[in-house]
Amino acid sequence: MQIRDIVFSLIMVLSGFVLVYKLVYKYSPRDPVIVLSTVLLIGMIAAMLLSLNERLRKFEVELKEQERSLRISMHSVEEEVKDKVGDAVKKLGEVNEELLRRGYR
């Protein structure tokens, strides 16, 4: 993880705790079910966001790998086409020279 992601995660967790504290003590400070459910809700939201961030990062890495692979393949095809076109031009030049020799005799 990058430092930015760690800082954002810490801020998210701290704000979650502040939110739980405010919710619990405003509505029902003595009800453990509300405390537990609120803590679990905030924790699951934080975990979901972090998981989504990791999935997006993996997707980005895979996309870069595929792009690099495609670029290498395109370069290979380009070289192959260049060689074949060069051979075809060479053969056409030879045929042209042969026809010119026959035409002038």
- Could you report the per-residue pLDDT of 24-49, keeping only the tens digit for each? 777 766 777 777 777 777 778 877 88
| Helix%, strand%, coil% for the chain, nearest 5 | 95, 0, 5
Residue 23 tokens, joined:
């919710």
Report yes or no: 34 and 24 within 8 Å, Cβ to Cβ.
yes
Which pLDDT tens digit goes with each residue over 56-101?
999 999 999 999 999 999 999 999 999 999 999 999 999 888 888 8
CA dihedral 39→42→47→49, nearest 10 degrees, is 180
With a threshold of 0.85, does the pTM exceed it? no
Residue 105 scores a pLDDT above 60 = no
Identify the CA nearest to 9 among candidates 40, 39, 54, 41. 54
Work out the widest C-alpha separation in the chain, in whole angstroms.
113
Which residues, including other chains, have CB under 8 Å from residue 49's CB and lie 6 or more apart?
A: 12
Residue 96 tokens, joined:
């042209």
Residue 54 scores a pLDDT above 60 = yes
